[in-house]
Amino acid sequence: MLRILSIFLFTALFTNAFAQNSGRMTTNPSGDIQLSGIVEIGYLGVLDHKVQFSNSGTYFDYRKDGGQNVLFPVSRFSLELRYKERNTIVLLYQPLRLETQVLLQEDLIVDDLTFPASSGVKLLYNFPFYRISYLRELVPDSETFKFALGGSLQLRNATISFESNDGNLYRTNRDVGPVPAVKIKARRELGKRTFAEFEADGIYAPVSYLNGSDNEVVGAILDASLRTGIEFDQPVTSFFNLRYLGGGAVGTSAPDGPGDGYVRNWLNFFTVSVGFRYTIN
């Protein structure tokens, strides 16, 4: 918690310092540029999460057999730059690290390596992502309703590992790659200081189509949230947020290590969080 609060304080100070050192921002009475720092803190629950490496591998259920039937802390950090009222650029960082340790009820096969039943295994699912987005406001004349459409480019940075308690058995899969997505955002003013927002980034497409590779892999992501909030006197806004985070991939790529290159990885998560926005006009 102290680390998260420290990051929020740093974001607020950075936002304020950026504004104070930018003559355009501080001397622009028309409010053409607005910079906001946003922090979310809460918990994550796993609705469904399964993974398989190699055609001969186990389609492993993390929630049922991998210890992911508990809640995990979650945080989210972003900067939003709004300019000329209708344009917004968003920089996002989403940590996502799930670590568990379980006693296997059945044999677990990962890339041709068998972790035997009744043995202990340490599981790491580390899937943080970085995202840059652009939004264009499509309803600029309404004072109570806003709707924006745009796109995102997400960079995944995945590490998925299986390690026996004695360290003798080990498998890991690592991957870094870009993922484009469509982005929408809508906002409704509920009162003088209250509001509701819906936001989503998502795509479903063959990986080879997205990045020009020869990999026969189909992938998808959906990051959708619904929030309601209260606007205090500037510069602080607070909100309560419900989020669905899902996606994954299935198919075969060129093997880089043991196994035949087949991967099946699908996740369905939800998060409940509170958030704070610090804005400089």
Question: Of the given ranges (90-104, 123-137, 210-224, 238-252), which has the lowest mean pLDDT?
Answer: 210-224
Higher pLDDT, 8 or 46: 46
Closest CA to 245 of 46, 39, 97, 62: 46
Domains of the chain, start order = 2-280 (2.40.128)
Alpha carbon distance 241, 124 (integer Å): 26
Q: Cα separations (Å) of 229 from 147, 162, 193, 276?
A: 17, 41, 8, 9
pLDDT of residue 207: 60
Alpha carbon distance 56, 259 (integer Å): 9
Alpha carbon distance 144, 140 (integer Å): 10
If you write DSSP's letter for every residue of 238-268 in order, what string do you get? EEEEEEEEEEEEEEE----SSS-SEEEEEEE
User: Tens of pLDDT along 91-108?
Assistant: 999 999 999 999 999 999
Closest CA to 66 of 82, 86, 46, 84: 46
Return the C-alpha torsion angle 62, 64, 65, 68, nearest 10: 50
Pull the structure tokens for residue 179: 């993922």
Return the C-alpha torsion angle 159, 162, 164, 169, nearest 10: -90
Q: How many residues does the chain have?
A: 281
User: Tens of pLDDT along 157-192?
Assistant: 999 999 999 999 999 999 888 889 999 999 999 998
User: Tens of pLDDT along 21-69?
Assistant: 444 333 344 458 999 999 999 999 999 999 999 999 999 999 999 999 9
Q: Is the CB of residue 269 less than 8 Å from the CB of residue 72?
A: no
Does a cis peptide bond (omega within 30 degrees of 0) precede residue 235? yes
pLDDT at residue 222 is higher than 50: yes
Alpha carbon distance 79, 93 (integer Å): 9
Give me Rg for the CA atoms of the chain. Answer: 21
State phi, psi for 18 to the nearest 5 degrees: -60, -45
Name the pTM for this structure: 0.84
Collapsed DSSP state (helix, strand, coil) of residue 104: coil
Query: Across the strands, what pairs with 201?
Result: 183, 223
